[in-house]
Structures are given as structure tokens and as C-alpha cells.
A = this chain, B = another copy of it.
Amino acid sequence: MSQHADPSAHRGRHGRPRVGVREVARRAGVAASTVSRVLSDHPDVSPETRAQVLEVANALGYRPNGLGQMLRQGFTRTIGFCVSDIANPLFAQITRGAEMTLSKHGYSLLLSNSMSDPALELKNLQALDQRRVEGLLLSVTSETDPAMLAVLRDFQGPLVAIDRELHVDPTDSAALAAAPAGATVSAVLSDHAVGIRAAVAALAAAGHRHIALLQELAELRPGRVRAQAATAAAAELGITCRIHPAGPEGLSPGQIAAILTAPDAPTAVIAGHNQILIRLLAALRSAGLRYPDDVSVVTCDDVPLMEFFEPALAVVRRDPARLGAAAAELLLEHLVDADAPGRQVVLPTEFVPGASVRQLT
């Protein structure tokens, strides 16, 4: 490798020259502009020249100059991902699905955790915007925070919500809250209603007349849909389903234990998500209660190790990695066609029975 012949060669940290476009051009016997055309997939190059240039570039270990070149071409091949807590197994699996799909298409994922703090989420979104991510995957902690919606409105690229309903009206900030669902933000949504209705029906069929849904974060779509579907299904079946939402601090194990030991305690309880399942199990333990003998239990979303619980937990299941992959695919569609209208993809949930539900006599 000739160091002095190529003025475009850059030196790495340890003094080894990087191969530049001109070195590739010289070895391939073509003009530097031809190399650039090949590397940017310009159509005006013969197949023979293209093959020759790529072979030489490969042989020399040429790598395009990265971010600088990308920026000149107007892209960063980077996607921002906003999530409340990557350590939540649900979000970890969604993130893996999204990252693996994006990476296959040459995109990298910038990850940010808000820990359910809207102020931190706003800061994270601004940081992602500053890094010129080309698109955003949004599993945000609020669907209505005006400052967040304002950042999304000004963001210059496609947005895909993951199990969130975001109304971002590009023309009138005062109309944000009133904009129709999905008007501008594409989304991948779980069909929570199907799974939760099947769970309520199974409980009713087992003789339960008074059930409870522990549903923190009721202001976000998953909780909202589950609460609505459970209430409607219970009404149709002539049984009672009480919803127990909670403030941002969550339902504590003590509060849950109080619900389960009250005079009008439910005979069955549905944990609305994996974090509340942990508090429910702690409440059962502290109150000396066992499922299904003392109370029947259904949970929402699989978590690693849950398969080894005995008795087996009945669960409303979905495929979170597929949720992440579908969101990434939808975003890639929008990146290819910036004028495509926003759309929603709905993925299934299913109720899986388990011995945690007791047949009442």
C-alpha cells in the first residue's frame, strides 16, 4: 500500500493510512468521480466498471468515509428509539426485534430510556433530533405531553409509534389533542382487546363473577384498551370487572394486598403488565395468599422464567420481538417513500389458559 501517492489517504490513530477514493481509482484505472458514482449506486456506470471498482475497493479494504459522507448525502442511517425502560423484558424484546431488522437494512439504533419521566423523554428526543436520526420509533411514556408532541411535530422524518396513539397535527398546534388517531403518526399496535376479552370470558366460564384488572399506566394505549375491553366484556357476560389504575408511583404490593383481602375482594385478578405482576406476586406472598386456591390470576405479556411457575400462569400473550420488527419495517417503508400516508399495523394477542385460574364450584 503506497502511503505517499494518495493525498486523500487518512491516517488512523496508530499511523496506518486509510485507503481513499483516489487510491481505489488509481488501482482500478478509472477516475475518482467514477469510483464515487459506483459507491453511491449512480446508474450511469457500466456493469463491468462497477464490478472492477468494487473488486479493487474490496481488495484494498476501502471503507467509505462514514458519517461525513453520509451527511453530505443527507442521511445518517440512524434511527432513534424512545423507550421508558430497556430493562423491562417487554421493551428489551421489542428493542431486539427493531434493532435486528434495522441493522439488516444498514440502519443503526440510537437508544434512549426515559424511566417514565416526561422531562427526560423530552430531553432524549431533542438529543436524538440533534443527532439527525432519520426516523423515530416511539414507545413513549406519555401520549399527550405538549412539549414532546411539539418536538415530534417539528421532527424532519417519519415517526412510528409502538403501541401508542400519537396525534401530531403538523399545521395547528392548538388542534393537537383533537387530531384523528393515526392522522400523521404510523403505528404498530397490539390487539389487546382480543386477548383480554378471551381472558375475561375464561374467568366468567370458570364461575368468577367479580374480577379485578390491575392496570397501572391506564393513560397509555395498552392500559386504556385493556380496561375498556375488560369492562365491556364483563358487562356483556353479566359479571363485574373493577379497574384499579394507579398514579405514576404505581400500585404498591400493600395496596394490591388490600384489594385482595377486602370484604368485597375479587375472586380473580388480571395483572395488566409484567411490572404489576411482580407487585401482585409480592402482595400474594406478604398476605399469605396462594393462587389459584385463594385467588385466580391471569397476567399480560410473557416474561422469561414465567414458564417455570407452578401452577402455570394463564397469560394474554403477544410477540414483542415481532412488534419491534414490524415497527422497524414500517419506518423503513416511510424512509423509502416519504409521501406514503401514515398507517397502522395491528398484531395479535392470544389468551393462553393456565392452572392459575380455578374453576369455582
Contact = CB atoms under 8 A, between A and B. Distances in A.
Contacts of A86: 86, 92, 95-96, 99
B113 A63 contact: no
Interface string A275-305: 0011001100100000000000000000111
Contacts of A131: 66-67, 70, 76-78, 108
A93 interface: yes
Interface stretch (A120-128, A138-146, A174-182, A226-234): A120-128
Given A99-B112, A131-B77, A308 B321 contact: no
Interface stretch (A36-44, A46-54, A149-157, A342-350): A149-157
A87 B77 contact: no
Interface residues on A, range: 35 or more
Contacts of A219: none
Interface in A82-118: 85-89, 92-93, 95-96, 99-100, 103, 106, 108-113, 115
Contacts of A45: none
Interface string A315-332: 000000100000000000
Contacts of A92: 86-89, 92
A146 to B, nearest CB: 14
B127 A67 contact: no
B130 A67 contact: yes
Contacts of A285: 308
A334 B316 CA distance: 47
Assembly of this chain: how many copies?
2
A29 interface: no
Contact of A85 (B96, B112, B153, B155): B96
A103 B127 CA distance: 9
A130 B66 contact: yes
A123 B67 CA distance: 16
A249 to B, nearest CB: 19
A70 B127 CA distance: 12
A170 B13 CA distance: 9
Interface string A152-173: 0111100000000000001100
A132 B66 contact: yes
A52 B108 CA distance: 39
A297 to B, nearest CB: 12
Contact of A153 (B14, B100, B112, B305): B14
A65 to B, nearest CB: 8
A66 B76 CA distance: 12
16 contacts: A12-B154, A14-B153, A66-B129, A66-B132, A67-B76, A68-B71, A71-B71, A76-B131, A87-B96, A89-B304, A108-B127, A108-B131, A277-B305, A278-B304, A278-B308, A305-B306
Interface of A: 12-14, 16, 63-64, 66-68, 70-71, 76-78, 81, 85-89, 92-93, 95-96, 99-100, 103, 106, 108-113, 115, 120, 123-124, 126-132, 153-156, 170-171, 274, 277-278, 281-282, 285, 303-306, 308-309, 321
Given A108-B127, A108-B131, 15 more contacts: A13-B154, A14-B154, A66-B131, A76-B131, A85-B96, A86-B95, A87-B89, A87-B321, A95-B111, A103-B124, A108-B111, A278-B305, A281-B305, A305-B309, A308-B309
